[in-house]
A = this chain, B = another copy of it.
Amino acid sequence: MVDAIGYAAKHSFSRLKPLRFQRDEPKPHELQLEVLYCGVCHSDIHQVKNEWSNTVYPCMPGHEVVGRVTKAADGGKFKVGDLVGVGCMIDSCQSCAPCREGDENYCEGPNSWLATYNGPMIPAKKAPTGENIYGRDNTYGGYANLLNVREDFAIRIPDKLKPEEAAPILCAGVTTFSPMRHWGVKKGDKVGVVGLGGLGHMAVKLAKALGAEVTVFTTSPEKKADAEALGATHVTIEKEVTSKAEELATTPGTFDFILSTVPEKHDINAFVALLKRDKSLVIVGALEPMAPVDNQAVAFHRRSVSGSLIGSIRETQEVIDFCAEHGIAPEIEIIPIQQINQAMKKVEKGDVRFRYVIDMASLKDEDGGDEDE
């Protein structure tokens, strides 16, 4: 075991505070990293506040991690000193069909994949066999100085990317890139992006780099200029569309693909009506019951409403390399970890352009105490 420090919440109503803990020694197939930067994802907030009713406390978030390898087995893929990224997964069962086919993010092992924090995805008590194949529960994420990861789950960060800018690509980037690849977004396609936050702003950049004409749908008129600067050809205030839902229902749609990045329950009916025949709206932001979808709009043009969850390790390396090649970087604001609670409040209000990234050099060896607050 190795002494480690990080920031964690002790309860659903408590702020994140310093926490001393111990990391395992890395297993033979694992790396240990010194964390340099960690992005702040809206999921971190959902998880800290137990908004998915599955949080184990203390909860130490962080799954957009860039760090430097400090421990690695000889002869492995990485060596000490390498710059690597870690996204939402640090391991998976390695034996189910999705894992064998390179879709680890859809791992069907008894505990699903091992989430970087609050893992595994299916804890022992919910697993069909009642076991935990990883031997670890309540994993602590990247709001820490050290992190372990299965070597195969570490992403090589190219020199062309700044480490602090690479971090958000590991979740926000791949979560939007993976469905665009899977549903075949290509040059000339008309792509809609609903919501312009951490995920949405990456979706705009990536879709544009794939050659698509991008329309951003946002509730915030003040984000119009931002959306255009990011590469959107059209910016539509959501209300302009949702108020015309009935009229749209009888008009053939023009969009090849729409990605909804809104991180909470919302009404997608008007956006479904914008899709061409046989096309899909894919929800990546909200992991909860959505507002009712009218099957008339879906069926009348054989449309689909689909969901997609982060992306595979292969796709994560692909999007990192794609960003390096196309000069794409997220818009970030660097904060010391001591500002994490204020930053989370701003993320909840949508008041961030567009991703906070924690500079982990700010972390000090202190203990937050036992008070709940």
- List residues of A whose CB falls within 8 A of some B CB: 52, 96-98, 103, 106, 108, 112, 122, 126-128, 182, 250-252, 269, 277, 280, 283-284, 286-296, 298-309
Q: A280-B304, A283-B298, A304-B306 are in contact. Are A252 and B290 (CB under 8 A)?
A: no
Q: Given the complex of chains A and B, what is the CA–CA distance between A94 and B96 in angstroms?
A: 48
Q: Given the complex of chains A and B, what is the CA–CA distance between A103 and B300 in angstroms?
A: 11
Of B286, B305, B307, B309, the residue contacting A306 (CB under 8 A) is B305
Q: Which residues of B contact A302 (CB under 8 A)?
A: 106, 182, 306-309
Q: Given the complex of chains A and B, what is the CA–CA distance between A98 and B300 in angstroms?
A: 12
Q: A280-B304, A283-B299, A293-B290 are in contact. Are A251 and B128 (CB under 8 A)?
A: yes
Q: Which residues of B contact A96 (CB under 8 A)?
A: 252
9 A-B pairs closest in CB distance? A299-B307, A298-B307, A108-B252, A289-B292, A304-B306, A287-B296, A304-B304, A289-B294, A299-B309
Question: Separation in Å of the A352 CB from the closest CB of chain B?
Answer: 23
Count copies of this chain in the complex.
2
Question: Separation in Å of the A121 CB from the closest CB of chain B?
Answer: 8
Q: Are B128 and A277 in contact (CB under 8 A)?
A: no
Q: Which residues of B contact A251 (CB under 8 A)?
A: 128
Q: A126-B250, A293-B290, A293-B305 are in contact. Are A98 and B298 (CB under 8 A)?
A: no
- Closest chain B residue, CB of each to CB of A253: B108
- Closest chain B residue, CB of each to CB of A265: B292
Q: Are B287 and A295 in contact (CB under 8 A)?
A: yes
Question: Separation in Å of the A154 CB from the closest CB of chain B?
Answer: 24
Q: Which residues of B contact A293 (CB under 8 A)?
A: 289-290, 293, 305
Interface contacts beyond A106-B300, A289-B293, A305-B306: sample of 20 additional A-B pairs, CB < 8 Å, sorted by A: A52-B296, A96-B252, A106-B301, A280-B304, A284-B299, A286-B295, A287-B299, A289-B294, A290-B292, A290-B293, A298-B305, A298-B306, A298-B307, A302-B306, A303-B307, A304-B304, A304-B305, A304-B306, A304-B307, A305-B305
Q: Given the complex of chains A and B, what is the CA–CA distance between A251 and B112 in angstroms?
A: 10
Question: Separation in Å of the A346 CB from the closest CB of chain B?
Answer: 25
Question: Separation in Å of the A351 CB from the closest CB of chain B?
Answer: 25
Q: Given the complex of chains A and B, what is the CA–CA distance between A288 and B297 in angstroms?
A: 8
Question: Separation in Å of the A366 CB from the closest CB of chain B?
Answer: 36
Q: Are B295 and A290 in contact (CB under 8 A)?
A: yes
Question: What are 16 inter-chain pairs, A to B, with CB distance below 8 A?
Answer: A52-B296, A96-B252, A98-B277, A112-B300, A126-B250, A283-B298, A288-B294, A289-B295, A291-B292, A295-B307, A298-B305, A298-B306, A298-B307, A303-B306, A303-B307, A305-B306
Of B128, B280, B291, B309, the residue contacting A300 (CB under 8 A) is B309
Question: Separation in Å of the A211 CB from the closest CB of chain B?
Answer: 21
Question: Separation in Å of the A343 CB from the closest CB of chain B?
Answer: 26
